[in-house]
Each structure stands twice: as structure tokens, then as C-alpha cells.
Amino acid sequence: MVTRPEIRLFEHGFVRLDGAMASDLSVVNSARVSFAKRRETMEESDRGLIGFLMRDRHGTPFEHNAFRFHVRCPLFVAREWFRHRIGSFNEESARYHRLEADFYVPEAADVRSQVGKPGAYTFEPAAPALAEEVRADLARQYTEAYALYERLLERGLAKELARCVLPMGTFTQFYWTVNARSLMNFLSLRAADTAQLEIRRYAEALETIFAEVMPVTYDAWLANGRVAP
Amino acid sequence: MVTRPEIRLFEHGFVRLDGAMASDLSVVNSARVSFAKRRETMEESDRGLIGFLMRDRHGTPFEHNAFRFHVRCPLFVAREWFRHRIGSFNEESARYHRLEADFYVPEAADVRSQVGKPGAYTFEPAAPALAEEVRADLARQYTEAYALYERLLERGLAKELARCVLPMGTFTQFYWTVNARSLMNFLSLRAADTAQLEIRRYAEALETIFAEVMPVTYDAWLANGRVAP
Amino acid sequence: MVTRPEIRLFEHGFVRLDGAMASDLSVVNSARVSFAKRRETMEESDRGLIGFLMRDRHGTPFEHNAFRFHVRCPLFVAREWFRHRIGSFNEESARYHRLEADFYVPEAADVRSQVGKPGAYTFEPAAPALAEEVRADLARQYTEAYALYERLLERGLAKELARCVLPMGTFTQFYWTVNARSLMNFLSLRAADTAQLEIRRYAEALETIFAEVMPVTYDAWLANGRVAP
Amino acid sequence: MVTRPEIRLFEHGFVRLDGAMASDLSVVNSARVSFAKRRETMEESDRGLIGFLMRDRHGTPFEHNAFRFHVRCPLFVAREWFRHRIGSFNEESARYHRLEADFYVPEAADVRSQVGKPGAYTFEPAAPALAEEVRADLARQYTEAYALYERLLERGLAKELARCVLPMGTFTQFYWTVNARSLMNFLSLRAADTAQLEIRRYAEALETIFAEVMPVTYDAWLANGRVAP
């Protein structure tokens, strides 16, 4: 099992590659099986083959691999993440387990306003004074919500009910197992300008790992305008 | 398009069948295609065929249909619901849209404590005085969280960030399109004793609709111990 | 249930829409739920919304519908068709049922040679004399194979074994239930110049049905260069 | 990449594990993430946890792994195999590539008749004389079909058309990447008495590999009556 150091994100989050069965060679071999051919190592010409598969939307050769990521992120990020159905999830349970008092407070530079209409929003950084106010407001609200969560648990309320008061900024964690084709689809949507900044940071972390493990595939995906096959 | 009255759940929730292409006949015909046979109407013997398919785990004939549900429920219920990957979701957006001040406060009779160990929890109703305290605590926390949400929006904070303070008890809404096989799997897990009471109520509402639209399939599923094929 | 006349293909094949829950309105409503909005009928501006969803790759609103097709086609066409995993199949069984003596012999104009290299094939019509020879050769081979199939069954051989001699040109039939998003993906690949002529004819038949049932979605897909969202 | 010796099947077939990211520990860790726990090695008590997950239908922890198999089998076996949608396939192409003259002729002991009605078939070995006749008939038909295939290709017919005459007993090859949950579902259906003998032999080969790579999970699946969670 490949285990790598965590990439830390925000104050309490991380992305970590927990295991992988992934190589550019697996793309080449699953494409070459069309011709009943197989290689033991990559050759220079295989770079062209991978580029061709990407451009011409031959997607299935990019599925014969797997990445297992261990992720810790705020609930509102996880909610977007779990919309991706081609892949597997197991998540920390707030029914069986008491969540920790870790919450998302954006760095001042990440506090932003939203300008424009649906389909064409842009974001602008908040003025420094406002950014600090917002950070303080969030922190206070989180503290109060968690204090109530604890009091409810102390009085014996079921965890699954007490979680009702926990805010969307609470951290959760999960494993996500996914193949390169589904991962490229995720990156094309979540490492994009239109994605929310917070999930974009996670997607960028995944992207660095993907680029390292399947470098030729990654280059072909970039050359294809970051469109998944 | 079949449109039905809403089944109301809790104070702010509902389940509504927004459309369906579903009949027991579709099960029969997709099974009989094995023998190049087709019927225009159900016959008495088809009841036995559907029972056989269910018992012997011939699952695919139960997939040639679709239910589109419109649902409003608390976020913590939606989070469990969206784990079901065989089906389609579109949900109210807290990035583009300001959520309403609707929150889940359990009826006094539904306030409960959790007893026992993981894998073997039981739940017991809270004493009346405690139940009322909990209800008041939740309501107060919701009010404060939403007041902050509004203040943050007034000060121009991006909706996608302001949502960080909204609690898991906030209501959301979505469409869910699903076939009978995946729906039976959902019901076997979410209309079960081991499911959280709140999603169980939603699953029970779905179950009454399913029973009406595909009555022979429903009976066969009951007779099979509520196990999906 | 919507039942339509068959579209006949080749000598023994057809495509028939056996049922549908599909409308452009379902796309609009599942997109508008983002804003907690819902309409009872399409409005002129919705055409623009559907175009926007298609262009910007918001794919999920195109999933809240279902088409159930009944198809009869040669085995080599079915083998390509069944590679599409987002959808449901039930097929005529050659284990339990004796297949009929219906085989694919191309029209003379469809007999073709293959020129060029993998990834860049072109096809050229065969000379008329060769085309007739090929047609006669195929017909004779089919007749002999089926005669052996029958003799093997008469001698009591299991159908599942006797099928070993049936050629890839034998006709099969199946139901296919699929949503518009998956159908558009199918059409983008199988109604394309790079697809084999025979499955392309089937895809073109599906396309005429799709265009009729969801005309605004169909136009938006055309305008998007036939790329599925 | 884990590469193992081929398990040979029939005269021209094989199953080979081409790569894996699979361990019982991955099941344990993806279950324990519910409680925000993680282990570096299996402990004795984890055997009980895996048994509990299997019995109580907690299926997702069995998805955080991947097996990539390389398989060579007759077309009629591949057609059943490719019905399994949770997993990835790439197959030898008869559009782009000339298939080899390898065909399935059952061993005399595997030639069988089919007795009984749909849903309740039993199979009985053919008398030795009949078995030899059948084997000779199949071999002759294959030879003739392939001779025509070659003549058609020599005369320039497109490969995608010439394949029409190839029988269902022709060998193909493919890669199949699948997780343990989907693999257990495959085994429960295809290594069963009700499965066709030929695919059953392949399933049994997969089963020996699965048992070796995830022994605790395999034992729990056996103890669960070979029902996938």
C-alpha cells in the first residue's frame, strides 16, 4: 500500500493518498488489448497513444486503476464531493460518534463577497475590517453551537439528533476510492474557476497527487483543456 | 406526467411523486423478453413470475421503470439520502440561493436518547420535561444561526460562505429519480428499524407511493422479507 | 405507457419506444430547484436555460427522465450497445430459449472495405460483384450454422452449448431503459462517423425519437456540437 | 503492480490478476472511519468487525480496493460477464483487429443436455458417443466459419463486417477492473449452480485469487452464505 504524507488544507483539513493501483502503463495496456497486445514497460510512443485516447474520448482505458484518498474537510465541501457517484465513500458518522470541535474559519484573504447573477457570479475579497468581523462571527457561532451540542449529549440526547445544531462549517472525514477517469471528471469541475474556493483547494491537492502518479495521463488531460474523456 | 398531492412530513417537509413510468407489467415484459415474449396486459400467472424473480435475485427486470420524487427534508436526512448512487439528484443550492428559515424541531414524542453500543443501539423516548427543553434549545439555536446568516448576507458575504453557520437541521429540497430496484434497496435500508427515525418517516412515505404504483412488485418484495433483488 | 410504431431496421430489426417519462419541462424544473422554483409549463426563456445547462456541462438536470426502448438487432451490434453502463438491459436468452433463424445480411450498398490504420480508418463501398458474393457467402454460412444448431438441439444438447455455433450476425432483442443524459452520450458516440454503420443506423433511429420527445433538449445538444453534458 | 501466473481454463483461456490494491485492512479502516479511527495493521478483533459488516449489509467498506484481471474466454462467456455494470472493461476489438482461430470445444465430460423447465433446469452429461459427435461437429463448424472469415478479409471486406460469421464459441480477451463488493456479487451469481458451467469455471478461478488476496473478507462472505453485502 502506498501511503504518503498528508497535504494539509485550512486549519483542520487534509488530503492523503492512502493507496493506489495506478500507472500510465495500465492505460496503455487496456487500450492495446483491442489489438491483443500487451507491454511490460512504457515506451516513448505510448505518450502519443494516451494523447489520442484522451482527445478522441476513449474513456474506458483510464478506468483500470484506483486511488484511495483519505480526506478531512468541512461538511459543505463534503456535500459537493459526495455528489460524484462513480466512486466509493465511507465517512465519519455523526449518528454513532461525537464529532470534534473543528470548524472552518476562512483566512482573512479568503473572505469574499459574491457579485453578479446566477451563471455569472464573480467574487471579490472583503475589506480587511469586514473580513475580521466575519471571522469572529463565525468562530463565536461555532463555539456556541458546539457548546449546545455538548450539553445535549450530556443530557443523554441521541447523537443523531444532537447533530441537528452542528453547522455546515464542521469538519468531517472520509475515504474516497476513485479511478482516474472519474477523478479527471471531478478535477475538471472542482479544480475550475466556477467551483467554490474551498473545494477547489482540495481538488488542487488531489491534482498534484494525480500528476505524480500518472504523469503522462495528467499531461494529456492538460493538453485536452482539462476535459475528461 | 403523474403529479400527486404532497405527503407532508414534519413541519416543513414533504414527499411528492412528480412523475412516473412504472408498472408491474414492465417487470413482466422485461423478464419475458428472455423468451422473446411480450404481453399487453398483466395476467394472473404474472404474479407468480414476479415472485420468482424477486426470490431468485433476478434484479434487472425491476429496473425498466422510473419514479421522480420531489422531496423537502432536513440536511442531515438529505446527507444520508445522497449516499445512494443508483439514481439522480438535483438539489436546492446554498451557493446561488438564500435558504429559508425552516428547521427541524422534533415533536416531543420523537425526542430520544441513545442506549447501547455501536452496532446495537436502542433508542428511548426522553422524559417530557427534557423533550421540551431540547425543543426549546434547538429552536433558539436555529434562530440565532439564521439571524447571523442574514446579517452576513446583508454585509455582502458570499452565500456560499455564509452557509457555514447554517445547522444540519436546516431544510433543503431536491428531485430524486430512481428505478424500482434501487428504490427497494433504499427502502430495505432506510425504512428499517436500524435507520434514523427521520429518514425512516420519509422512506415510509415513499413506500406507500411505491405500493400504489407497483402493487404486485411491492407484495413480492414484502414476501421476500423486504430484501431487494 | 407511450407505445409507438416500430422503426424497422435491416431485414429483421427494429427500435420501438416502449414507454417514456420525458419532457423538456423536467430539465427546467430540476435545474430551477437550485433556486427553490418550479413551473407547471415551459416558457420561452426556458429554451435559453436548457442551452446554458448543456454548454456549461450541468449534466444532472438531464437525468430526471426515462426512455424504455425495445430493440431487435444483430449480436455484434448488441455487444457494442451493452458496453454502455448507465442504463438497464434485459435480453433474449440463448440459454433458456431457442433463437430464431434471423441473421444480418447487409444490403449490397452497405458491403464495404476498410482502408487505413487504427484510429484513422475509412470505409469504401465494395464493387457490386463482390458485394453480391459476400452477401451469398454470409447467407450460406448462416444457413449451415443454423442447421447445425437445430441438429444439436434435436440430439438434446443444452441450448447454452448449442449456441456456440451461432454467428455474430444472429439477431437478438432486448429492452433498454436509459435517461436523456446517458442517451445523448450514446448518440454522441454511436450516431457518429466513427461508429460502425450498423449501430449508427440504430442510433439514428433513437435520435429521431429523442428529438420528438424532448425537442428543446435535442436542439441544445445539436447546438453543443452533439457533445453530451 | 502485482502480476501473477495465469490460471489456464479450457484450451485457449485464462484468468490472470494483472494488478491489485486490495487488503482486508482497507475494509477495516473504511469502516472505522465512522469513528474517526484508523489502524496500520489488522488485529484479531477485526475479523469480527468484517463478519458484522458482511452480515448486516454494510457494503461500502468492501469497495475501497481494486482488482484488475486479464481474462481470455469465449464470446458467449464474455457476453454474460459484461452485463455486470459496476466495474470497467476493455476488450479485444473485432472491428480493428483480426481475431485468432481459437474456439471453445468442451471436453467430452462437459458436453451436456438440458432437462426441465425455465427456472428449474438441470443438466445431464451426454452419452460418450454423442459427446464425441458434438465435439467433432463444433470443431468442423468453427473451421468452416473461420475459413470464410479469412476469405472475406482477403477479399478486402471490412473486419467489422467479416466478424458476422464468427461463432459465439470464438475466444476474446479483456481487462476487467472491479472492487471486492462487485466481485462478490459476480461470484454469488456466476460461481453458483445456476450459472452456466463455462462462466462458473472462470468465476471459480477468480474466487481462488480473491480468497488469497482478501482472506478474512472471503471467509466472512462464505459464512454469509456467499451473499454479497
C-alpha closest to that of D137 among C206, C152, C13: C152
Given a cut of 50, whether residue D170 has pLDDT beyond it is yes
Residues D154 and D209 in one domain: no
Give pLDDT, residue C155.
95
Q: Of the candidates D144, D165, D186, which is a domain's last residue?
A: D165
CB D163 within 8 A of CB D100: no
Has residue D1 been placed in a domain? no
Using the structure block, give the residue that is written with the C-alpha cell 471571522.
A135
Cell numbers describing residue B109: 414524542
Q: How far is the first Cα of chain B from the last one, in angstroms, to the nearest whole number?
A: 28
Quote ipTM for the complex: 0.95
Q: Say if B2 falls within a structural domain.
A: no
Residues D16 and D69 in one domain: yes
Residues C110-133: pLDDT tens digits? 999 988 877 678 899 999 999 999
Task: Name residues whose C-beta falls within 8 Å of residue A185's C-beta, 6 or more positions apart in sequence.
Answer: A84, A86, A228
User: What DSSP designation does D191 have?
Assistant: S
Range of the domain at A44: 7-94+169-223
Q: What CATH number does the domain containing B64 carry?
A: 3.30.1360.170
Residue C149 belongs to a domain: yes
Would residue D163 show up in a list of annotated catalytic residues for this protein? Answer: no
Q: Which of C85, C96, C165 is nearest residue D169 as measured by Cβ atoms?
A: C165
Residues D13 and D82 both lie in one domain:
yes
Going by the DSSP 8-state scheme, the letter that residue C34 receives in this structure is G
**Is D176 found in the same domain as D87?**
yes
d(CA C53, CA C49): 6
> Which of C34, C35, C119 has its CB closest to that of A52?
C119
Q: Which of C175, C187, C191 is nearest to C17 (CA)?
A: C175
Radius of gyration of chain C (CA): 21
* Ramachandran region, residue C36 (left: φ > 0; alpha: ψ -120 to 50; beta: rest): left
Q: Number of folded domains in chain A?
A: 2
Q: What is the pLDDT along chain A (229 residues), one digit of tens a residue?
A: 455 789 999 999 999 999 999 999 999 999 999 999 999 999 999 999 999 999 999 999 999 999 999 999 999 999 999 999 999 999 999 999 999 999 999 999 999 998 887 767 889 999 999 999 999 999 999 999 999 999 999 999 999 999 999 999 999 999 999 999 999 999 999 999 999 999 999 999 999 999 999 999 999 999 999 999 9
> Do C157 and D79 lie within an 8 Å CB cutoff?
no
Within a domain: residue A101? no
In one letter, which amino acid is A24? Answer: D
What gap in Å lies between CA C97 and CA C83, rounded to an integer? Answer: 23
Average pLDDT over residues B131-138: 98
Same domain assignment for residues D116 and D199: no
pLDDT tier at B115, thresholds 50, 70, 90: confident
Write the single-letter amino acid at A96.
Y
User: D99: distance to nearest CA of chain B, Å?
Assistant: 29
For an interface test with B, which of D46, D53, D57, D193 has the most B Cβ atoms less than 10 Å from its Cβ?
D57
B137-180 pLDDT, tens digit each: 999 999 999 999 999 999 999 999 999 999 999 999 999 999 99
Percent of chain D at pLDDT > 90 equals 94
What's phi and psi for D104, nearest 5 deg? -90, 115
Could you identify the residue written with the cell 486511488? Answer: A67
Question: Cα dihedral angle (C192, C195, C200, C203), rounded to 10 degrees?
Answer: -70
* Mean pLDDT of the C60-84 span: 98
Same-domain status, C179 and C78: yes
CB of C121 less than 8 A from some CB of A: no
Evaluate whether residue B210 is within a structural domain.
Answer: yes
What is the 8-class DSSP label of residue C107?
-
What residue has cell string 461525537? A98
Burial A41-57 (b: 16+ CB within 10 A, else e): ebeeebbebbbebbeeb
Residue B3's pLDDT band (boundaries 50, 70, 90)? low
Q: What are phi and psi of B50, to 5 degrees?
A: -65, -40
Residues B154 and B203 in one domain: no
Q: Are residues C86 and C176 in the same domain?
A: yes
Residue D120 is predicted with a pLDDT of 76
Residue B87: all three cell numbers together: 439514481
Q: Which chains touch B (3 or more CB pairs under 8 A)?
A: A, C, D
Cβ contacts of C21 on chain B, cutoff 8 Å:
1, 19-21, 66, 68
**Are residue B157 and residue B182 in the same domain, yes or no?**
no
In a domain, C157, yes or no: yes
* B54 and B19 part of one domain: yes
What is the structure's pLDDT at B119?
67
- Per residue in B177-216, pLDDT (tens digit) is 999 999 999 999 999 999 999 999 999 999 999 999 999 9
Q: Is the pLDDT of residue B72 over 90?
A: yes
Q: What are the pLDDT digits (tens) for D33-42?
A: 999 999 999 9
Is C138 in the same domain as C217? no
Neighboring chain C residues of D85 at a CB cutoff of 8 Å: 85
Per the structure block, which three cell numbers stand in for D196?
A: 452456466
3-class state of residue A36 by DSSP: coil
What pLDDT shows up at residue D1? 44
Task: State how far the Cα of B67 lies from the Cα of A215, in Å rounded to an integer.
Answer: 43
Q: What percent of chain C lies above the pLDDT cut of 90?
A: 94
pLDDT at B1: 45
Q: Which of B136, B165, B194 is the last residue before a domain boundary?
A: B165
Same-domain pairing of C39 and C76:
yes
Indicate the SS3 state at residue C193: coil
C199 sits in which H/E element: helix C197-213
**Which residues are CB-contacts of B46 (< 8 A; sequence separation ≥ 6)?**
B24, B25, B28, B39, B216
In a domain? residue A102: no
The answer to whether residue C100 is domain-embedded is no
